[in-house]
A and B are shown apart, each in its own frame.
Chain A
Amino acid sequence: MSNQIFRQILLITDGCSNVGTDPVYAAQVAKEKGVAVNVIALLDRETAGRSGQQEAQNIAAAGGGLCRIVTVGQLAQTMQMVTQQTMQLTLQQVVNRELRAIVGQETEELPPETRMRVAKYMDDLGDAAELHLALTIDMSASMLPKIPAMRDAIRDLELSLQARSGHHELAIVAFPGEGGEDVAVLCRRGTLAELNALTSQLKASGSTPTGPAIVTSMNVLLQPSDGGVPRKGKDERPGGGEDVSYVV
């Protein structure tokens, strides 16, 4: 279990998808492929109405991840908490499966003393595990005022990831892309310095193609780590991910 790689998408949005693949469907596909989809919906008086929040919850539920609805001020803290908790939940599933096989019980059914020891064991595993994370960021026009906070939150998340003993890789995927394409992969495996340069490029524009963005992020995460060989995935073409079938 120590060589398990955790793959997560962290989708940050403030509205409803309006272009391309159904994001709930895309999230379900991602989950089937072992990529958990977490969603942070940013509260905004103008945009994120009930429908946006509902969609966020549906995406997370389909993607086997968590959904949090927060204000911009809580963004940094929430990004870390969601990443951490999803890893723990994934670990818990694995441990639960093993416990069920061995003692016929799950962690939450164990008496407190025993559960405490299991919790410690899982905490150690989680700290050492390899994490591949794609930050999938809504760059539609309403996000513009939130970009500085976003930049700060990404830097902050990276600081927390650095404090873990396990290796991690961070990708940043923006939707829509700057040139009018649905999705742009800003970086695949960033270091902190690169991220700082990159995040200063975040610019908001256009529509909200959430579904295609999830597909692209999933493909980035599933690409084998072979040291920066440029890939010719179709998902990189403008409007990539319009059709999920080719990645399934």
Chain B
Amino acid sequence: MSVRAVVKMFPTSFDGMPPLLESGARLHGKWSGRTYSIVKQLGSGANGVVYAGRLGDQIQAIKLSCQAADIALEYKALSEWQKTGSATFAGPRVYELDDAVIHNTPCFFYAMEYVRGETMDRFVSRRGVKWVGPLILQLLTSLYAVHQTRHAFGDLKTENVLVQTRDAKVRLIDFGGMTPFGRGVRQFTKWYDRAWWGQGERKADPTYDLFALTQMICALCLPEFEKKWIDSNRPGPELWGEWVRVIERDERVRLWKPIVQSVWNGHIVNTLAMRDAVRRAVVKGIVDLPKVSATTGTGRKPHENKRLTSVQTNHKSKPDADWTTWFLVLSAAAACFAGTFVWHIWS
């Protein structure tokens, strides 16, 4: 094969990444004829970059890569799922698959909905671990929808989950790891990969995602471990025993321990079972409120729970009312209503 042919075969330069686009640069789609104006870079992964790009008066997210096949397969999985018109579609909406030439390098991209929000770890570190339960519940609904398409999400991690700024709704982003059941997972991250920990195969099935989800819960409640342990370069199977003991002992994951262990032991094998368990834990968390709030700093505005002062002690006050408050207020209201109703019947 001639040198030219080699160059043509490997248009990717030597590091496999597409050439970088400055903000203001134009991306011209060869097939659609559309031109996107790059606003900024949103993120980059192992073999691609995501940009925010303006098309007319709309901002879209554009995933750009030199790997034609990866981009095409990712787009295919998302668009086929979207086309079923399923109400449970949980991905970003995809608009267009196209290619472009950037600095003489052929690149491939697809345009999708631009999801505005912050990553789950940042959201939780800012607003408190009390959010873990409600967010995981939402995430399980999304994962259930993914699994209904006979795919695993694959690369499930806090960085790939965005919490929308406006409504705290959870959105999955980066579907590069989405893999048909039974096939080797396309993209994954050590900490969330059960095979790396020596806890099973790297094959896509519902439990692959559930394992990643347990790691996510633990990483959110015990944020100091992931980086430290991955940086130590020790092999996963060697760390596993230690990790199990951490989960066993650490007070901060007490609420989640039974669920995490059930997934690890194979007692919980699908999203529905896990959702039930998480729902129960969330309710239990509310019943245990004084303890939870004492360890996590969950706070309520004093004036909002005058009637609840008997169960509340030592809270720091925080500006925003959280969902647990609403739950308590609503139950109190329901109790009042029931009381009135009974009184009415009696009289």
Contacts and interface: CB of A to CB of B under 8 A. Distances in A.
Contacts of A156: 195-196
B6 A112 contact: no
B333 interface: no
Interface residues of B, number: 35
B97 A159 contact: no
A108 B31 CA distance: 12
B76 A119 contact: yes
Nearest to A85: B67
B107 to A, nearest CB: 11
A73 B16 contact: no
Interface string B28-47: 00010000000000000011
Contacts of B46: 77, 81
Contacts of A163: 183-185, 195, 201-203
Contacts of B182: 165
B330 interface: no
B198 to A, nearest CB: 9
Interface stretch (A13-21, A64-72, A182-190, A220-228): A64-72
Interface string A159-190: 11011110000000000000000000000000
B99 to A, nearest CB: 7
A222 B9 CA distance: 24
Nearest to B195: A159
Given A31-B1, A85-B67, A108-B68, A160 B184 contact: yes
A43 B122 CA distance: 31
B73 A120 contact: yes
Interface in A125-166: 127, 148-149, 151-152, 155-156, 159-160, 162-165
Interface in B165-218: 182-185, 190, 195-196, 201-203
Interface residues of A, number: 43
Given A66-B16, A68-B16, A165-B183, A112 B72 contact: yes
Contacts of B233: 72-73, 148-149, 152
Contacts of A67: 14
Given A73-B233, A116-B72, A127 B97 contact: no
A81 B17 CA distance: 13
A159 B235 CA distance: 13
Interface string A111-126: 1110110011011000
Main secondary structure of the interface of A (DSSP, over half): helix
Interface string B12-30: 0011100000000000000
A88 interface: yes
Contacts of B76: 116, 119-120
Most buried by A among B31, B184, B195, B203: B184
A225 to B, nearest CB: 22
Given A81-B47, A112-B98, A127-B183, A159 B73 contact: no
A93 B72 contact: no
Interface in A25-57: 31, 57
Interface string A89-116: 1001100000000000001100111011
B64 to A, nearest CB: 14
Contacts of B345: none
B153 interface: no
A50 to B, nearest CB: 13
A61 interface: yes
B69 interface: yes
Nearest to A88: B69
Interface of B: 1, 3, 6, 9-10, 14-16, 31, 46-47, 67-69, 72-73, 75-76, 97-99, 106, 182-185, 190, 195-196, 201-203, 231, 233, 235
Cβ-closest 5 pairs across A and B: A163-B184, A119-B72, A112-B97, A163-B202, A159-B195
Given A89-B10, A155-B235, 7 more contacts: A57-B14, A64-B9, A112-B72, A113-B97, A159-B201, A163-B183, A163-B184
19 contacts: A68-B16, A77-B46, A81-B46, A81-B47, A88-B67, A92-B69, A108-B106, A116-B75, A119-B68, A119-B73, A119-B76, A127-B183, A151-B235, A159-B195, A160-B202, A162-B201, A163-B183, A163-B195, A163-B203
